[in-house]
Amino acid sequence: NFLAYAGRYELHDGYVLHHVETSIFTNLIGTTLKRGFQLQGDTLTITTLPPYLWGAQRKLVWKRT
């Protein structure tokens, strides 16, 4: 499965709100997605929070080079 979206975001304590302005799934445009995040050193991990799309938690890991 693949999901792509972009837009403004707000950081909060332990989670981020993504305000979807464009997406490959047009029904997400105009919605807000709440995601967990953790920043450790050069690594940012973003995780889905319940309710889960496609029935399971997903994780995205970015590492600065």
Per-residue pLDDT, averaged over 17-36, amounts to 96
Per-residue pLDDT, averaged over 60-65, amounts to 94
- Residue 7 has a pLDDT of 98
d(CA 36, CA 56): 14
12 and 35 Cβ atoms separated by less than 8 Å: no
Which tokens hold the place of 22? 């464009």
> With 80 as the cut, is the pLDDT of residue 17 above it?
yes
